Amino acid sequence: MKIRIKFSKQGNMKFIGHLDIMRYFQKVMRRADVDIRYSEGFSPHQIMSFAAPLGVGLTGSGEYLDIEVLSTDSSAEMVRRMNLAMVEGMEVLSYKKLPDDAGNAMSLVAACDYTVRMRDGYTEAMGLTDVSFMSSLVSFIETGDLQITKKTKKGEKEMDLRPYIYEQSLTDDGRGVFLKLSSGSAANIKPELLLEAYCKSLGQEFPAFGFLINREEVYADAGSETAHCFVTLESFGEDIE
């Protein structure tokens, strides 16, 4: 049986890298007595895959991993048991059964939502307020030069970010920006790429530790390249009663 788990990663856990998060969940499965399926062979391991590894220093409110189980209790009971084994900053949000023919989470990722804010004191050092900084960022996305040089495993390449920014808007308080960006194997656009281009347009050095970035949700694309229809990875599953 295929299971998709949605979880959040907040607080000091944002400093834990992906490999350690994977090891952490392996321990959670044992402590919560999840009847997870193991691979066969001389070195069996838990069958587990994550949708999109979250960068160190970023928090996440809608992270996903897929597992396979031999048996299971209800979704509510499994969420309860896993959360009893969680540390501060980590929380399981849902536990859903997937159809047998469902694709794995990693292969489905097409877009991600982010909220970007500034740490206290950084905008003041630039001679701006948080509101003016974020308002100008939205204007830059709409009309600015989004040609960047992106570093890849094969070197560097020139690319235009605009086609891969699906939504942008100010948060309700005006002190942050909401972004929906392309993700996955086709075009993996991280918020830092956009923020670096924006700071460059201001003639400012990119403050690598000045931003607070939270990934809100991860999506698959049920549409086409010309007509996107983004659906959450959670929506592919259903609760177990």
User: Mind listing the pLDDT tens digit of every residue in the chain (241 residues)?
Assistant: 999 999 999 999 999 999 999 999 999 999 999 999 999 988 899 999 999 999 999 999 999 999 999 999 999 999 999 999 999 999 999 999 999 898 899 999 999 999 999 998 888 878 888 999 999 999 999 998 899 887 777 778 888 999 999 999 999 999 999 999 999 877 889 999 999 999 999 888 888 889 999 999 999 999 887 899 999 999 999 999 9
Q: What is the mean pLDDT of the chain?
A: 93
pLDDT score at 88: 95
pLDDT score at 152: 73
pLDDT score at 184: 87
Residue 223: both structure tokens together: 């549409």
Scan for tokens 């929380």, then name that residue: 91
Identify the bridge partners of residue 6 per DSSP, sorted by sequence position: 64, 94
The one-character DSSP state at 225 is S
pLDDT score at 179: 97
pLDDT score at 169: 96
Specify the pTM.
0.93
Instruction: Give helix 191-201 / helix 130-143 axis angle, nearest 10°.
Output: 100
pLDDT score at 126: 80
C-alpha 159/C-alpha 167 separation (Å) is 18
Burial class (CB in 10 A: 0-12, 13-18, 19+), 156: exposed
